[in-house]
Amino acid sequence: MKTLEGHVVLKPWNPNMVWTGEPEYTKITRLYMSVGNGDAWYEYVKRAEITNGLMHLTTYRGKPVVINANWIVKAEDFTVVRVTGAIEVLPGIYDEKLEERLYLAQDNVVVELR
């Protein structure tokens, strides 16, 4: 996931792209985890308090996940900003397929779409 710099989201991927709706915001915690043998990964979960032992959490996409708190190296709070767009085929006629972009942003950011 890209980190949002500032508070403006531009539509660089297609000049015919138009925004559909307003940005959606989800408060999450990014967990940096490692099992100690060089393997490391991030897990993005909905905001929750970190406790000892096994934690039953939900990813930002809604999938349940069990995480061993001993694997967590670092936890950071963010907001995931979800923006969607559609391609304007003809004036006023849009492709049915929506394109989605996700960005990490600092808490309490209000995003402007351009």
Q: How many residues does the chain have?
A: 114
Residue-level pLDDT at 19? 81
Cα-Cα-Cα-Cα torsion 55, 66, 100, 24, nearest 10 degrees, comes to -20
Which tens digit of pLDDT belongs to each residue from 33-92?
A: 887 777 788 888 988 778 888 989 998 888 999 988 888 888 888 888 888 888 877 777
- How many angstroms separate the CA atoms of 110 and 23, rounded? 9
Measuring CA to CA, how many Å separate 62 from each of 26, 28, 41, 42, 59? Answer: 11, 12, 19, 16, 5
24-34 and 40-46 strand pairing: antiparallel
SS3 per-residue string spanning 78-94:
EEEEEEEEEEEEECCEE
Residue-level pLDDT at 13? 65
DSSP code, position 44:
E
The predicted model gives 95-100 an average pLDDT of: 77
Answer whether residue 98 shows pLDDT above 80. no
The predicted model gives 27-36 an average pLDDT of: 86
Residue 92: left (phi > 0), alpha (psi -120 to 50), or beta? left
Residue-level pLDDT at 64? 92
Residue-level pLDDT at 17? 78
CA angle, 62 then 101 then 41, to 5°? 60
